[in-house]
Amino acid sequence: MHFGYPLRTTWSIAPVLLSLLSLTACSSGSDGGSITAPPVYSVDCSTSATYVPVNAPLITLSTGATATTSIIMMHGKTGSPLSSHLPPLYIGLANAGYDVIAPYMPWSGLTWDGSMCESMNYIDSLASQEAAKGRNVIVAGHSMGGAHSLIYGATAPNNEVKGLITLAPGHFPHLSNNIQTVTAASIVLAESMVASGNGDDLATFDMLNTGVIIQITASAVDYLSFTALDQYPDINDVLPVITLPVLWLAGDADPITVGYDMATLSSQIASANSDYQVISGDHKSMVANSVAPIVAWLSSLSL
pTM (predicted TM-score):
0.88
For 69-107, write each residue's pLDDT tens digit. Answer: 999 999 999 999 999 999 999 999 999 999 999 999 999
Q: Name the percent of the chain in helix, strand, coil, to the closest 5.
A: 30, 20, 45
Which superfamily does 25-300 belong to?
A: Alpha/Beta hydrolase fold, catalytic domain (3.40.50.1820)
Least confident piece of the model among 4-8, 82-86, 110-114, 236-240? 4-8
In this structure, are residues 41 and 21 in contact, taking their beta carbons and an 8 Å threshold?
Answer: yes
For 160-192, write each residue's pLDDT tens digit. Answer: 999 999 999 999 999 999 999 999 999 999 999
CA–CA gap between residue 250 and residue 212 (Å, rounded): 21
Confidence of residue 18 (pLDDT cuts 50, 70, 90): very low
**Other beta carbons within 10 Å of 243:** 12
Q: What are phi and psi of 299, to 5 degrees?
A: -65, -35
CA 102 to centroid of chain Cα atoms: 14
| Single-letter residue type at 138 | I
| Single-letter residue type at 261 | D
Task: Locate the domains of the chain by residue range.
Answer: 25-300
> Measured at the alpha carbon of residue 271, what is the angle toward residues 267 and 277, in degrees to the nearest 5?
45
pLDDT at 36: 61
Q: What are phi and psi of 5, to 5 degrees?
A: -65, 130
Q: What are phi and psi of 7, to 5 degrees?
A: -85, -45
